[in-house]
Amino acid sequence: MGPKKDPEESIYGPTETVFTTPDVNLGVPQESRFIRALSNAEMIISVALFAGIFFGVMHQVIGRYFPALSWVGSGELALLSMIAMTFMMMGYLTGRNGHIVIEVFDGVLRGKKLFVALRVIAAVIMVVTSIALVYDASVKIGLEWTRVSAAMGIPLGILYIFAFIGGLSTGIHSIWKIPHANRPERQLEISEMEG
């Protein structure tokens, strides 16, 4: 055996997560019981939808090698599950700073009152956008209920139920962030999502 390498000699940078660096979420306000329950429900539903994506894609692959097992609905199942999961994860990612953000001003303004104002304005914009999405989804649920998907015959209004829930959750998470704009934001526990 050769000499042990020092961890700093690795070609990969250090991994900082909640598990390796406990102070990543230091100073983050404690979530309310309701927000935690909402986040858990979103994760459970999203895992089920991810299973639908996985099953649909794997069934398509198997159907290419064994045509007798092919099912035209497998691609549709994967597609509809992916759309629904996208809407379901909106609030969860907003609450954990995992959404797409443009951090041009963050480094320059960090530690200043203008930074808090920027975060409040961003949260208010998210609330207004969420209200628009919830309204549009509520209208579309009724309008699209009569249209069905081609292969499985699922009413397309179901997708707008997921959009309604996702928009509502995003608004709730954004409203919760407003009074805590001067505190650090909760970071995702998966460092790969950031890079």
Contact predicate 89/170, CB 8 Å: no
pLDDT tens-digit readout, 32-70 = 899 999 999 999 999 999 999 999 999 999 999 999 998
Cβ neighbours of residue 53 closer than 8 Å, sequence gap 6 or more: 78, 81, 82, 85
What mean pLDDT is predicted for residues 139-146? 93
pLDDT tens-digit readout, 74-117 = 999 999 999 999 999 999 988 887 666 656 676 677 777 788 88
Token couple for 133: 């999405």
**Chain CA centroid to CA 57, Å:** 21
Token couple for 63: 């159907």
pTM recorded for the entire structure: 0.78
pLDDT at 15 over 90: no
Whole-angstrom CA distances from 57 to 44, 47, 105 are 20, 15, 40
Average pLDDT of the chain to the nearest whole number: 84
Stronger pLDDT, 129 or 22, i.e. the higher one: 129
Domain ranges of the chain: 31-193
The per-residue pLDDT for 195 is 45
**Chain CA centroid to CA 51, Å:** 16
